[in-house]
Amino acid sequence: MSANVSNTACLDTELLNKILASISNPGPNDLVPILQQVQKAYGYLPKPILMAVSDRTGISASQIYGVATFYEQFYLEPHGRHTVRCCRGTACHVKGGPNIIKTLKRTLGIEPGETTDDMEFTFETVACLGACALAPVMVIDGTYYGKMSFRKVGLVVENARTAGKGES
Amino acid sequence: MPEVAITINGKELIGRTGQTILELAAENGIDIPNLCHDPRLVPTGSCRLCLVDVAGRKGPVTACTSKIEPGMVVQTETDEIRAIRKTILELLFYEHRGVCTTCDENGDCTFQQYAYEYQISDEIFTKAETVEPKPNYTTGNEAIEYDLDKCIRCGRCIRICEEVQMDSALTFKERASGVEVTTAFDIPLNESTCELCGQCISTCPTGALYERAAKGKGQCKDLLRTRTTCPYCGVGCQIDLNVNPKTNEIVRVTSPVGCIPNDGNLCVKGRFGIEFVGHEQRLTTPLIKRNGTFETATWNQATDFIAERLAKIKNQNGPNSIAGLSSAKCTNEENYVFQKFIRAVIGTNNVDHCARLCHASTVAGLARAFGSGAMTNSIDELKNAACIFIIGSNTSEAHPVIALDIKEAVVKNGARLIVADPRRIDLVRFSELHIAQKPGTDVALINAMMNVIINENILDADFVKERTDGFEELAGALKDFTPEKAEQITTVPAEKIRQAARIYAGASTSSIVYSMGITQHTTGTDNVLSLANLSMLTGNIGKESTGVNPLRGQNNVQGACDLGALPNVYPGYQSVEDSKIQAKFEKAWSKKLSPKKGLTVVEIFHAVETGDIKAMYIMGENPALSDPNLNRTRKALEMVDFLVVQDIFLSETAQYADVVLPSACFAEKNGTFTNTERRVQRIRTAVPPPGESRSDWETICDLSTKLGYKMSYDSAGHIMDEIASLTPIYGGMSFERIDSVGLQWPCLDKDHPGTKYLHKGKFTRGKGKFHTVSFKAPAESPGKKFPFVLTTGRQLYQFHTGTMTRKSAAINQVSPTGYVEIHLEDAGKLGIAAGDTVEVSTIRGKVSTLAKVTKNIGKGWLFMPFHFHEGPANMLTIDALDPLAKIPEYKVCAATIKKS
């Protein structure tokens, strides 16, 4: 018996083939690396691709779903080309972090956890980025922007947009 | 196993190596609290409630994961430990938003029990905000309801689905306070890999998982439990019917962990298929047909009428013009009384039942090879077999709880599994080798396996020499029957046949499991003989975890055979043609008996056509849907002069009857069923029968008395005593002895412990006999007009003609109607898409049904389940018979299919 498998034709499974081919005898112990590579290749974890992972590796779809929802790093919905993360930690908070978040919301026109309609930006907040000395701090595609002020937000975001494809 | 001595709470206890503290404590009546433990699961130690103090250890340890060690000193109830447990419970209660006053589980909830014992206060922590219930994976599901507010995240439901059922339908999602149980991608349960076994409900320690239909019908504290045997397949699962005494309704079905043979596990039918018991369509009064319509009658009117008609027909046409069909659904006691009625009162051996249609070839074949025709070994032994060879049994659908043992053997104990089945059945997932032989070619396959075993000299020469006859002839006949030859007949690559032979012969213990895929052929007996050959050739018989194991399909088909509802034998397979046996029964029953064997099921229907049978008495069978070539069967039911049907519903067959008598069902009477492993088990009255319906044996006794032969018994137990006195294999059976755990026949006397496996040291017939069998093609081969091979069978959710299962909302939701399976490519060529209405026809008839397009069946082959009165598969099947066993060839006929 297998769960209802959605039509995978709309997504290129060639990328998945390459990922699975690079792992010898993929099994439950390889699940996290597989998910990381799938996300890197597809930008997020598309359901049909995960169902294909289940079919091909014998890892149950329920287990894949459990792991994918457990880790913050995995996305089950399409993700923006750039990921903007803003710190909500104590140090950032006292140094004006909430203002940065407010400005980001206005600049991007979305709430934390959402993605812009043009799929350019996904905006998230983080409990602490661990860079308190730089507070308030935000990160775009892995690049840290410390000692932020709400005035700089617009410029940083525009620079990221023109910098082309980012990395989540 | 080496013993280990430890001390728990100052008491010296002896345990076994490998046992955990929790297990040993439980065995000795020391209760260590736990919420995430179930003996069926691998312990995880996650709830931390079973913490105990072990002398010399730094902190407390979890009793469920700690193995006992010599000299260990354990304290389970220190103040410190109890304080920790109390805090854990309070933390859990923080998440548990349920209220016991309105919870169905109230009275059976482990969590509630500990909360009381530890007097926890739910005011210590701020109550979590009450949130609006949001949809979850069980929303809209008719069978199972998950209530997140009552869930304590112990994970038992997820683990049992993965470890025992091996369906892996469930998971935790999210983390920390967001954790909840769900399916992959939160899809509705019925669309997941779930099989609706409800094992998740059975292990849930709170009311978080519950049968939806049971909600609001009575709290557990008020329900009365009656231990009985499941009325569906031959596994014989022990179930508890939970009855609300105020309404006399069966609210839910549970099963105790640790019981034999099912260890608390059930399938969808046993757990969710009992709604038929209190169904509004149950027959409540006798009915007599007058001018084509049924009119209600009193018992007296009905039985007087039947007695008068039967007496008249017997006088005019002789006793052999009357035939009776007994029932594999009825109890042993009722089958005994029924065949006694036909033999002693009517005076004929024309008594048979549906075993003719399922395992007649097993009885005939195994009796010839070994001397007795039943499952040789026990269900429990499958777990420890080194190799299991399943052929023609879709075990996980037809005998789901036995499939659990097979999966356990493979996944946990490393057994090698070979599946030979034309379809890619679910168990193929667990197999090392899948052989998709063409339907009807089993003899060729098995002969080729034996050719390999002989040629490669991997047979058990000592066993063959010491315990069998006929080997030389067999070896000679198989000399040239190579896997290459078999490949041409079976379509199975020769190399796969070799592999199968090597795996089967090479394992230390190999068990054969088979069912209708072997028996329902014109070569059914040949197929069975071939499997017997294979087992003897490799010495895989008469030992634990080996054997030839036919899985019986009905709850009491084994018992109905054992008790002589067969035209050639009295109870206990004692031949009607043996004058000594005849004399014994004549003496016991004080009546002259016929020495001539009677007609079989299909022969009876054919004899109606020729006018030889004038009257039929059918108890609890539905041939108008279950017998092959339905057009012909139904015509015979119409033709027969007088037809009496005794049933719980107005079945398709009952509608043809002149008189219909209402019966009590399994939940409304006492008696015994014999399961597939020969275990005689009790059934018990849980609710009163509806209206005026009553036990079948009472009706037969009454009728018999009216026909001038006084039959009366105080209780079903007394019938069993009479059975024991006349039936050597049941000689030691009594209701007292089987009260808590059933006994396996042969059980010769009051001191006999029953028999776990047959043929130990010696076959019933002395030496085992090899029968040389050559391949014969099925009665019908596909041709130009009918190019497909049609095979029929069961599916998980329905049972037989659906009279019982189709009353269940939970089952109807997942299995609303019939279908035909067709290979993707064949469907493509014919322009058939999944869900299309198609017409399937054979030379005998045609039916309209839905197409199920799949890759799990071979090209050129079709499969239809036979449960559905709309689009009945048996309109199509052929009534060609096995010459010895008289079983019809349900598994192969030539058919065609087109889009309607």
Chain A touched by B176 (CB under 8 Å): no
Do residues B838 and B723 both lie within one domain? no
Are A3 and B184 inside 8 Å of each other by CB? yes
Range of the domain at A57: 14-70
Position A7 in a domain: no
B660 — pLDDT class (breaks 50, 70, 90) = very high
Position B509 in a domain: yes
Residue of A161 and B500 predicted with greater confidence: B500
B96 — pLDDT class (breaks 50, 70, 90) = confident
Q: Distance of CA A167 to CAs A114, A140, A142, Å?
A: 17, 9, 7
User: d(Cα B673, Cα B682) in Å, to the nearest integer?
Assistant: 6
Do residues A31 and A97 both lie within one domain? no
Contacts of B583 (CB under 8 A, 6+ apart): none
Are A3 and B187 inside 8 Å of each other by CB? yes
User: d(Cα B657, Cα B172) in Å, to the nearest integer?
Assistant: 55
Do residues B535 and B568 both lie within one domain? no
B779 alpha-carbon distance from chain centroid = 29
The total number of structural domains that make up chain B: 4
Are B184 and A65 inside 8 Å of each other by CB? yes
Do residues A101 and A137 both lie within one domain? yes
Cβ-based neighbour number of residue B320 at 10 Å: 20
Chain A touched by B734 (CB under 8 Å): no
- Taking a C-beta distance cutoff of 8 angstroms, is the pair A126, A88 a contact? yes
Q: What mean pLDDT is predicted for residues B762-779? A: 93
Over 90: is that where the pLDDT of A141 sits? Answer: no
Do residues A93 and A61 both lie within one domain? no
Which of A1, A3, A70 is closest, CB to CB, to B175? A70
Q: Which of B66, B280, B108, B140 is nearest to B208 (CA)?
A: B108
Last residue of a domain, one of B34, B61, B77: B77
Q: What mean pLDDT is predicted for residues B607-615? A: 96
Shortest CA distance from B166: residue in chain A:
A60
Secondary structure (DSSP) of B227-269: EEE-SSSTT--EEEEEEETTTTEEEEEE--TT-TTTTT---HH
Are A2 and B426 inside 8 Å of each other by CB? no
Looking at residue B93, its pLDDT comes to 84
Do residues B536 and B409 both lie within one domain? yes
Are B171 and A4 inside 8 Å of each other by CB? no
User: d(Cα B573, Cα B674) in Å, to the nearest integer?
Assistant: 15
Q: Which of B633, B616, B632 is nearest to B624 (CA)?
A: B633
Do residues B371 and B425 both lie within one domain? yes
Look at phi and psi of residue B181 and say left if phi exceeds 0, alpha if psi is from -120 to 50, else beta.
beta
Beta bridge partners, B619, equal B646
Over 80: is that where the pLDDT of B600 sits? Answer: yes
Q: What is the pLDDT of residues B789-817, one digit of tens each?
A: 999 999 999 998 888 999 999 999 999 99
What residue has token string 């032979």? B501
Do residues A28 and A96 both lie within one domain? no
Are A1 and B195 inside 8 Å of each other by CB? yes
Do residues A50 and A112 both lie within one domain? no
Beta bridge partners, B238, equal B229
Q: What is the pLDDT of residues B811-853, one digit of tens each?
A: 999 999 999 999 999 999 999 999 999 999 999 999 999 999 9
Position B252 in a domain: no
Do residues B653 and B588 both lie within one domain? yes
Do residues A155 and A117 both lie within one domain? yes
Position A60 in a domain: yes
Are B168 and A63 inside 8 Å of each other by CB? yes
Q: Which of B792, B801, B789 is nearest to B895 (CA)?
A: B789
Residues of A in contact with B192 (CB under 8 A): 3, 61-62
A3 — pLDDT class (breaks 50, 70, 90) = very low
Interface test mutation site (partner A, options B160, B167, B171, B172, max chain A beta carbons within 10 A): B171
User: Which CATH number do you get for residue A97?
Assistant: 3.40.30.10
| Average pLDDT of every residue of chain B | 94
Tokens describing residue B396 = 């996980």
Contacts of B404 (CB under 8 A, 6+ apart): B164, B165, B166, B265
Looking at residue B123, its pLDDT comes to 66
Position A132 in a domain: yes
B95 — pLDDT class (breaks 50, 70, 90) = confident
Q: What is the pLDDT of residues B713-748, one digit of tens each?
A: 999 999 999 999 999 999 999 999 999 999 999 999
Kindly report the CA angle at B542 between B536 and B547, in degrees rounded to 5? Answer: 65
User: Which CATH number do you get for residue B867?
Assistant: 2.40.40.20
Do residues B382 and B364 both lie within one domain? yes
Interface test mutation site (partner A, options B162, B185, B795, max chain A beta carbons within 10 A): B185
DSSP state of B551: P
Last residue of a domain, one of B532, B548, B564: B548
Interface test mutation site (partner A, options B168, B397, B853, max chain A beta carbons within 10 A): B168
Shortest CA distance from A62: residue in chain B:
B184
Range of the domain at B319: 302-354+556-674+688-735
User: Which CATH number do you get for residue B587?
Assistant: 3.40.50.740
CA distance B842 to chain A (A): 30
CA distance A97 to chain B (A): 26
Pairing of strands B144-146, B209-211: antiparallel
Q: What mean pLDDT is predicted for residues B142-160? A: 95
Looking at residue B2, its pLDDT comes to 79
Do residues A59 and A116 both lie within one domain? no
Q: pLDDT above 70 covers what percent of chain B?
A: 99
A142 CB-contact burial (10 Å; exposed 0-12 / middle 13-18 / buried 19+): exposed
Do residues A43 and A114 both lie within one domain? no
Q: Which of B643, B644, B649, B642 is nearest to B693 (CA)?
A: B649
Position B17 in a domain: yes
Q: Distance of CA A98 to CAs A94, A141, A152, B612, B743, Å?
A: 9, 20, 14, 96, 74
The total number of structural domains that make up chain A: 2
Q: Distance of CA B242 to CAs B222, B264, B330, B686, B772, Å?
A: 9, 15, 22, 8, 52
Tokens describing residue A63 = 């287990």
Do residues A90 and A140 both lie within one domain? yes
Q: Which of A4-13, B232-241, B647-656 has the lowest mean pLDDT?
A: A4-13
Do residues B544 and B577 both lie within one domain? no
Residues of B in contact with A61 (CB under 8 A): 168, 184-185, 192-193
Shortest CA distance from B427: residue in chain A:
A1
Last residue of a domain, one of B77, B110, B125: B77
Over 50: is that where the pLDDT of B677 sits? Answer: yes
DSSP H helical ranges for B757-882? 809-814, 824-830
Do residues B500 and B584 both lie within one domain? no
Cα within 13 Å of Cα(A23), Cβ side:
20
Contacts of B176 (CB under 8 A, 6+ apart): none
Over 60: is that where the pLDDT of A165 sits? Answer: no
Helix (H) / strand (E) element for B531: namely: helix B524-537
Q: Taking CB atoms and an 8 Å cut-off, how many pairs form between chains A and B? A: 56
The sheet with strand B51-54 has its strands ordered as B11-16, B3-8, B73-75, B51-54, B61-62
Q: What mean pLDDT is predicted for residues B706-712? A: 95
Which of A50, A54, A62 is closest, CB to CB, to B183? A62
Kindly provide the residue ranges of all beta strands, DSSP E only, lying in B459-576, ordered along the sequence. 468-469, 510-514, 548-550, 569-570, 574-575
Position A36 in a domain: yes
Do residues A25 and A61 both lie within one domain? yes
Chain A touched by B855 (CB under 8 Å): no
Do residues B804 and B886 both lie within one domain? yes
Secondary structure (DSSP) of B144-198: EEE-GGG-----HHHHHHHHTS----EEEES-GGG-EEEEGGG--GGGTT-----
Position B756 in a domain: no
Position B153 in a domain: no
Tokens describing residue B123 = 């005011």
Position A18 in a domain: yes
Q: What mean pLDDT is predicted for residues B431-451? A: 96
Do residues B324 and B401 both lie within one domain? no
Do residues B512 and B381 both lie within one domain? yes
What residue has token string 């039918």? B269
Cα within 13 Å of Cα(B853), Cβ side:
16
B504 — pLDDT class (breaks 50, 70, 90) = very high
Which of A1, A50, A64 is closest, CB to CB, to B193? A1
Do residues B541 and B627 both lie within one domain? no
Do residues A86 and A115 both lie within one domain? yes
Are B171 and A3 inside 8 Å of each other by CB? no
Chain A touched by B187 (CB under 8 Å): yes
Pairing of strands A143-145, B61-62: unpaired
Do residues A36 and A105 both lie within one domain? no
Position A47 in a domain: yes
A2: helix, strand or coil = coil
CA distance A60 to chain B (A): 6
